[in-house]
């Protein structure tokens, strides 16, 4: 339809606005980030650095600062793990509560597991963060993929995938029900009469479900946003369905625009089927952004960054992508084009071969690419990266991006000082916050209390 009605759609598309989150735990998803010249090797675990990053992102008007979380050391071979900068980090609520005191507008999103936590704890923590930040909290719902987490919580085996998602759906109902324990006007605080709150404006949840039994009410006032923003990150069939029914932001990982468009349409359609509006849910793919004065300079930065990934750790990732053991190949030679047939994804395999041919990468460089960060990446000048982001926005590949930085601080500084002004110049990203809450930044409605009018 875009080709049939270019003038109308061009006018409508100019009104669209990108939403930008910052993926900050780890501070970079790229395995080599901590080794890049000028980077802070301890950035994941240094509050002064993290405070500086949050304040710079707020000055650039980012929607949110996003903290992923893990409940176990990553389950990877020790050879790879010992080279990883993601081994340790702050507990997200502790960090975000501290950051709430040194920021004013940027959203604060944290991961909390529905498999290894209890809904009363999660509801109380997020309600507290929302109050402390004056309405800037977001809950990233995860079911926890790492099976090693089970052993940290008194369980010998990890729950099956379908069981984890069934619990997550019930968990969401309980947490949101607990947030609605008190009506917005329940706390009258009438000094003269001595009435602090109105008991008729309190609801006891008394939930009894297949997995969870929670009485309630929550012992904290309803959050300023009604509910903290609901975020979801799974892309499996159960994950997509959970997103369609519950999520307001989806952090996802499509590798290209076509995949982004398919996911965009699928999840928005699921939201509509669940009785929601397409505008009730925003898709923000993770995207590595590397900027240079020229495209070639940006690609050179990428090659340097990738080169910092140790080959012994990286070669396994490439072998998995090709379903072929490449460890016997010449690391500094080209990838053969006549590799034997395999059961790996043909689309994924062809993508690897195309990448090697398009950029002339050696086996070593290709392995380091896959071992460092193999997801969606925008590598170029501020103008070319803005072109790509605008294309994704206008062609319904996403509502924005959850930006991951190649190295810090410089990679973050490049984005806020060079890319953001270019997006603002095009009129597709805010120059000032228009509201004070994360819901207002994202254009999301404040949910009504299900128990009180």
pLDDT tens digits, one per residue of 9-39: 444 445 799 999 999 988 998 989 999 999 9
- Report the relative pairing of strands 19-23 and 64-67 from DSSP bridges: parallel
Residue 224, domain CATH = 3.20.20.30
Confidence check: pLDDT of 143 > 70:
yes
Number of domains in the chain: 2
On whether residue 406 sits in a domain, the answer given is: yes
* Mean pLDDT (the chain, rounded): 90
Does 90 reside within a domain? Answer: yes
Across residues 197-222, what is the average pLDDT? 97
| Average pLDDT value for residue range 338-351 | 68
The per-residue pLDDT for range 366-420, each reduced to its tens digit, is 988 888 888 899 999 999 999 999 999 999 999 999 999 999 999 999 999 999 9
Please state which of the ranges 213-227, 258-272, 314-328 shows the lowest mean pLDDT.
Answer: 314-328
Task: Specify whether the backbone of 180 is left (phi greater than 0), alpha (psi in -120 to 50) or beta.
Answer: alpha
Q: CA-based Rg of the chain, rounded to a whole angstrom?
A: 23
pLDDT given for residue 80 in this prediction: 66
Q: Rounded distance, CA 149 to CA 138, Å?
A: 23
Query: Is the pLDDT at 7 greater than 90, yes or no?
Result: no
Least confident of 105-119, 196-210, 301-315: 301-315
Residue whose pair of structure tokens reads 């300079």 in the numeric block = 297
Where are the extended beta strands (E) located within 162-248? 207-208, 213-214, 229-232
Report d(CA 229, CA 138) in Å as an integer: 4
Say if 2 falls within a structural domain. no
Is the omega angle on the peptide bond into residue 136 within 30 degrees of 0, that is, cis? no
Give 256-267 pLDDT, tens digit per residue. 999 999 999 999
Residues 365 and 247 in one domain: no
Q: Determine the Cα–Cα distance for residues 289 and 71; give it in Å rounded to an integer.
A: 28
**Which domain does 344 fall in, by range?**
296-371
The answer to whether residue 66 sits within a structural domain is yes
Instruction: Determine the average pLDDT of the residues in 153-177.
Output: 89
Q: Is residue 255 part of a domain?
A: yes
The answer to whether the CB of 406 falls within 8 A of the CB of 289 is yes
Query: What was the pLDDT predicted at 14?
Result: 54
pLDDT of 317 over the 80 cut: no
Give the residue from 324, 345, 371 where a domain finishes: 371
262 with 325, same domain?
no
Q: What CA–CA distances, in Å, run from 111 to 67, 86, 404, 407, 446? A: 6, 15, 16, 22, 21
With pLDDT > 90 as the criterion, what percentage of the chain qualifies?
Answer: 71
Contact 22, 402 (CB under 8 A): yes
Domain edge (last residue) among 315, 344, 371: 371
Tell me, yes or no, whether 146 and 132 share the same domain.
Answer: yes
Residues 285 and 328 placed together within one structural domain of the fold: no
Q: Domain check: are 216 and 334 in the same one?
A: no
Q: Is residue 197 part of a domain?
A: no
Examine the fold and report which residue of 322, 353, 371 is the final residue of a domain before the chain moves on: 371
Q: Per the domain annotation, does 451 fall within a domain?
A: no
- pTM across the whole model: 0.89
């Amino acid at each position: 339809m875009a080709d049939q009605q270019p003038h109308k759609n061009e006018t409508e598309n100019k009104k669209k606005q990108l939403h930008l989150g910052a993926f900050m735990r780890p501070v970079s998803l790229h395995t080599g980030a901590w080794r890049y010249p000028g980077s802070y090797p301890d950035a994941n675990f240094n509050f002064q650095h993290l405070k500086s990053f949050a304040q710079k992102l707020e000055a650039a008007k980012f929607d949110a600062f996003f903290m992923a979380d893990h409940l176990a050391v990553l389950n990877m071979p020790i050879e790879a793990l010992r080279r990883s900068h993601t081994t340790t980090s702050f507990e997200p609520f502790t960090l975000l509560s501290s950051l709430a005191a040194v920021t004013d507008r940027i959203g604060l999103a944290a991961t909390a597991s529905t498999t290894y936590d209890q809904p009363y704890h999660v509801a109380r923590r997020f309600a507290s963060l929302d109050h402390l930040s004056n309405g800037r909290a977001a809950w990233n719902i995860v079911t926890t993929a790492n099976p090693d987490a089970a052993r940290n919580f008194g369980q010998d085996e990890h729950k099956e995938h379908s069981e984890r998602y069934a619990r997550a759906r019930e968990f969401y109902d309980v947490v949101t029900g607990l947030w609605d324990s008190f009506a917005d006007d329940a706390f009258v605080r009438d000094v003269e009469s001595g009435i602090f709150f109105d008991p008729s404006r309190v609801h006891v949840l008394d939930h009894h479900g297949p997995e969870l039994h929670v009485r309630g009410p929550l012992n904290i006032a309803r959050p300023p946003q009604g509910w903290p923003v609901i975020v979801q990150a799974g892309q499996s069939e159960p994950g997509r369905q959970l997103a369609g029914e519950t999520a307001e932001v989806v952090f996802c990982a499509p590798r290209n625009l076509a995949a982004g468009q398919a996911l965009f349409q699928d999840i928005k359609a699921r939201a509509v089927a669940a009785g929601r509006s397409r505008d009730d849910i925003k898709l923000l793919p993770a995207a590595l952004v590397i900027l240079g004065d020229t495209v070639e300079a940006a690609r050179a930065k990428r090659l340097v960054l990738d080169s910092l990934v140790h080959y012994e750790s990286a070669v396994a990732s490439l072998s998995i992508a090709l379903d072929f053991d490449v460890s016997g190949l010449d690391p500094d030679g080209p990838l053969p084009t006549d590799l034997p047939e395999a059961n790996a994804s043909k689309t994924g395999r062809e993508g690897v071969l195309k990448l090697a041919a398009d950029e002339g990468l050696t086996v070593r460089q290709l392995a380091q690419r896959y071992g460092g960060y193999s997801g969606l990446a925008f590598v170029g000048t501020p103008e070319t990266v803005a072109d790509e982001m605008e294309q994704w926005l206008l062609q319904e590949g996403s509502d924005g991006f959850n930006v991951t930085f190649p190295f810090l601080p410089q990679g973050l500084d490049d984005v806020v000082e060079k890319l953001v002004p270019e997006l603002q110049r095009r009129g597709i990203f805010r120059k000032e916050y228009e509201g004070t809450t994360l819901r207002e930044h994202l254009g999301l409605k404040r949910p009504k209390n299900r128990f009180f009018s």
